[in-house]
Amino acid sequence: MRLIWSFRSRAAVAALALSAALTVCAQPALKDAFEGVFLIGAALNEAQFTGRDTNAVALIKTHFNSVTAENVLKWQRIHPEPGVYEFELADKFVEFGVQNGMVIIGHTLVWHHQTPRWVFRNEDGSQVDRDTLLARMREHIHTVVGRYKGRIKGWDVVNEALDEDGRLRQTPWLRIIGDDYIAKAFEFAHEADPEAELYYNDFSLENKPKRDGAVALIKRLKAQGIPITGVGLQGHYTLNWPSKKQLAETIRAFSELGLKVMITELDVDVLPRADAHRGADLMVRYQHDPKLNPYTAGLPDSVQRKLAKRYADIFDVLVRHSDAVTRVTFWGVTDRDSWLNYWPMPGRTNHPLLFDRHYQPKPAFYAVLTSAEKAKKSANKTR
Ligand code: 9MR
């Protein structure tokens, strides 16, 4: 019995691999379709950059020319204890990008999540003072950025420092160091690799109050001569938020400040939400509710079409602003990898990306390719 099952499951895996391989050969590549428009990136997990998920690796090599580490460069993963750095996985991620000639992005240096408690504490448990925390931040940034100097092209230096109302988020970084912790992080990153591009990265910047806060923050940084290259709009979107107008205005608001704009974590959540939160705040969490998990057996055609239309709309805006937008990175490769299967509710089946759970392109993939063709045509016309 076990033999039959193992034969069957091996046959199933082989069939999946074959169909994934055929698909990879038959489709035009996203990165080629957008050549000269912007880079097309993906956030990679460990199974992908170590080569274990061979079907995903085939898709990544075919379609993407930029990679971001979804998790392995975060403070907790790379620097879990004082004086202890664990570079093994991060090294493999960077090696994957180098081997495949991809633009490698580092995510992230200073964030309020995934930073171990010890960073903000003395040995006796009391809170560290400003100078101690600045010294720890500098040491961390120098060690990590310095190690990958010349190989990681750009860093999300500070991640999610703003609240929805546009004010600085109350984090231990802000409370202990003060308002200038953001400027300091950029200065330290620039010291460690003067050639690296340095980004401020956040979600929901398409909403005006938060966007205005980010614009004010960046103006302050630029007035002080802080080396900031770009802004990352994370792009954790839904089927109806943000509007095309909001997205276009947001891109313009940052490009008018002389910054590069990139979409750094694109996905489109198709599942019903338990509340009005639009964004990606990891503090928002709910218990599993089967009523809010309607597409476990696959995405119905009607929703599949909505998702394709939504991606077409998003890319229409992006290609129209391709003078400002330098990279579009998806937060994952296939629906099976997406964090939206476990946030804000564990155990759901989400369908937010261009490739489905069987590594197959979805109608949204073709919609995005069509946007690329339009971009090329209009570029030819204006030439
Ligand atoms: O996708 C990431 C998930 O696997 C992690 O558990 C989580 C916490 O580290 O972070 C997710 O990625 C986040 C990114 O680092 C910052 N913007 C929001 C992303 C989705 O939560």
Options 70, 160, 197, 206, the catalytic residue: 160
Other beta carbons within 10 angstroms of residue 72's beta carbon come to: 21
**Looking at residue 374, what is its pLDDT?**
83
Which parts of the chain sit beneath pLDDT 50? 1-8, 13, 18, 22
Q: Could you tell me the residue ranges of all domains in the chain?
A: 38-303+326-363
* CA–centroid distance, residue 289 to ligand 1 (Å): 22
Gap from CA of 150 to ligand 1 centroid (Å): 25
Structure tokens at 13: 């895996």
Residue 362 φ/ψ region, left for φ over 0, alpha for ψ in the -120 to 50 degree band, beta for the rest? beta
> Nearest 5 degrees, angle CA 163-CA 168-CA 171?
90
Q: Any catalytic annotation for residue 46? A: no
Q: Does this model's pTM top 0.85? A: yes
| Residues sharing a CB contact under 8 Å with residue 160, sequence separation 6 or more, in sequence order | 111, 112, 113, 169, 201, 202, 203
Nearest CA to ligand 1 atom 16: 159
pLDDT value of residue 6 = 46
pLDDT for position 25? 52
Q: Which residues line ligand 1 (CB under 6 A)?
A: 70-71, 74, 113-114, 159, 234, 265, 280, 282, 339, 343
Angle, to 10 degrees, between the axis of helix 54-63 and the axis of helix 2-26? 0
Known catalytic residue: 265?
A: yes
Atom number in ligand 1 closest to CA 282: 21
| Nearest ligand 1 atom to alpha carbon 331 | 1
**Closest CA to ligand 1's atom 14:** 70
One CATH from 3.30.70.20, 3.20.20.80, 3.30.380.10, 3.50.20.10 for 38-303+326-363: 3.20.20.80
What local confidence, expressed as pLDDT, does residue 216 receive?
Answer: 98
**Quick check: helix, strand or coil at residue 195?**
coil
Q: What is the structure's pLDDT at 3?
A: 40
**Buried (b) or exposed (e) across 89-128, using 16+ Cβ within 10 A?**
bbebbbebbeeeebbbbbbbbbbbeebeeebbeeeeeeeb
CB distance 314 to 328 below 8 Å: no
**Number of Cβ within a 10 Å radius of residue 221:** 19
Residue 277: the pLDDT is 72
CA dist 139 and 119 (Å) reads: 11
Extract the tokens encoding 58.
């085939």
Q: Where are the beta strands (DSSP E) in 203-311?
A: 230-233, 236-238, 260-269
At 305-333, the pLDDT tens digits run: 999 999 999 999 999 999 999 999 999 99
Nearest to 21 by CA among 65, 56, 66: 56
- Residue 198, strand partner residues: 155
Q: How far is the CA of 171 from the centre of ligand 1 (A)?
A: 17
